[in-house]
Structure 1
Amino acid sequence: MARPRKPLLSRERIIETAGALVDAEGLSAVSTRRLAAELGVSGPSLYNHFRTKDEILEAVADAVSARVDLSMFAEGDGRDWRTALHDWAVSYRAALADHPRLVPVLAVGPGRRPAGLRVADAVFGAMVRAGWPPAQATHIGALMRYFITGSALGSFARGFVDDATAYDPADYPHLGQAHLLAERQRQVDEGAFETGLRALLDGLSLQYERYASAPASAPAPTTAGTTLRPAPKRP
């Protein structure tokens, strides 16, 4: 039997092609008609794998989540909770920074996406094992997602043009070097992320010490199936 001229259509090919379109042109570029044309197939054939365009975008987002390193949360890994959060955050941001136009989909939350749910499960489980109250572990997972997705949505450095005349000292006396930021984008943006991440983890470490030193009390049930402890008193 002769081989088909083009590779058979598969979920993987659709996801890869849709991801490339998002990276190159943005979320609005993805449509079933455009994907069919890019893949050299008829439009209806896509429905054998995905029911809607939104399902395709969800699958693309999940493929990005699957690239996030979760090894630091494995039992027996040896890293403390702070180091694990740091290393995971760096890996997560790197995955998102490679696909900034997809971040709005990822920022909504994991929904039913398997890889996204594994990320949420790993973070929550690791924080609870480390001694965080379940409700606070949930807050930490949410906080980290806000911070990481926000940092990947855009570039602070690229927000400035590389024209020194754009920043007249008479109007902007402190922006004399702002035109240099664009050419140093990676250094500036990664440095800002590390600065914010360290500050965030420093704050969480202080909270952790307070939880560890707080007297034990009976847990109160919540509708989410987690438990809450009384907030520690500020010194």
Structure 2
Amino acid sequence: MARPRTPLLSRERIVVTALALVDGDGLDALSTRRLAAELSVSGPSLYNHFATKDELLDAVVDSVMGEVDLSMFAAGADWRTALRDWARSYRAALAAHPNIVPVLAQGPGRRPNALRLADAVFGCLVAAGWPRGQATRIGALMRYFITGSALGSFAAGFPEDAELYAAEYPHLTEAHLLAEHRRSIDEGAFEMGLEALLDGLTLRYRRPAG
């Protein structure tokens, strides 16, 4: 029996191809027609694996969540160290797939990897002695901070036009130079914010009850 020219479809192959499309061309590029063309299959064959585009998109988002390292929670690190290491891994995953961030920011839904992530963070905080309500709020706070940092580049938002700032913005006379230092500025801001956030939580954690 002759072997098929195109490898058989699988959920994993569809998700990997869909994520590559989103990474390369943005969320709007993800359509059944475009995806089928990339996979060299007919559009209807995709529905044997995903009933709707939303179901497919959930799987794509969850595959990104699967890139986030959660091992620090199982390793028994103290809550501050665990949150720091996890936040860095989470941001790295989002930085690798920035076009998926707007969908991811909507919450975990029924996505298994996203729910495992939320469970690990909450469990770590509760085990460390944080009240459950505060642990929930800390988890939300961390997600706001990390996804917010991945939504765009602060440095890249300033046009590289020195004349734009010269007359009316006296404190921004070097803003046109920011874009060329984009990575160091954005990563430095994330690290500074992360440490400030953790410092504040540590003070709250050590505050005597009552």
TM-score when scaled to structure 2?
0.97
Aligned to 1:34: 34
One-letter amino acid matched to 1:63:
S
- The reply on whether 1:188 has 2:185 as its aligned counterpart is yes
Partner of 1:226: none
- Aligned-partner SS, 2:9: coil
Shift of 1:178: 0.9
Map of 1:228 onto structure 2? none
Question: 2:125 and 2:76 mapped to 1: Cα distance?
Answer: 14
SS at match of 1:181: helix
Aligned counterpart, 1:72 = 72
Q: What amino acid is aligned across from residue 195 of structure 1 in structure 2?
A: M
User: Counterpart amino acid of 2:87?
Assistant: A
Q: What is aligned with 2:88? A: 90
Q: Aligned partners of 1:91, 1:184: CA distance in 2, in Å?
A: 22
Deviation at 1:78, TM superposition (A): 4.3
SS at match of 2:64: helix
Shift of residue 139, structure 1, vs aligned partner: 0.7
Task: Confirm whether residue 122 of structure 1 aligns to residue 111 of structure 2.
Answer: no
Q: What are the superposed Cα offsets for residues 22-46 of structure 1, whole Å, 9 maximum, x if unpaired?
A: 1111111111111111111111100
In the other structure, the counterpart of 2:79 is 81
Distance (Å, rounded) in 2 between the aligned partners of 1:90 and 1:5 = 42
Query: Which is helix-richer, 1 or 2?
Result: 2
Q: 5 Å matches for 1:51-62?
A: 51-62=51-62
Shift of 1:98: 0.9
Please point out which of 141, 144, 157 is paired with 2:142: 144
**Runs of 5+ in structure 2 lacking a partner?**
none
Residue 205 of structure 2: aligned partner:
208
Distance 2:99 2:187 in 1: 18
Per mean C-alpha deviation after superposition, the further-off stretch among 88-97 and 176-185 is 176-185
- CA deviations on 1:100-132 (whole Å, 9 max, x unpaired) are 110011101111100000000000000000110
Separation (CA, whole Å) in 2 of partners of 1:25 and 1:152: 17
SS of structure 2 residue aligned to 1:167: helix
Structure 1 unpaired stretches of 5+: 215-231
Given the alignment, which residue of 176, 179, 183 partners 1:179? 176
The 2-side partners of 1:40 and 1:164 are apart by: 48
Aligned residue number for residue 98 of structure 2: 100
RMSD: 1.0
Aligned-residue identity in percent: 74
TM-fit CA distance, 1:148: 0.5
Equivalent-residue separation in structure 1 for 2:204 and 2:73 (angstroms): 20
Give the letter for the 2:194 counterpart.
L
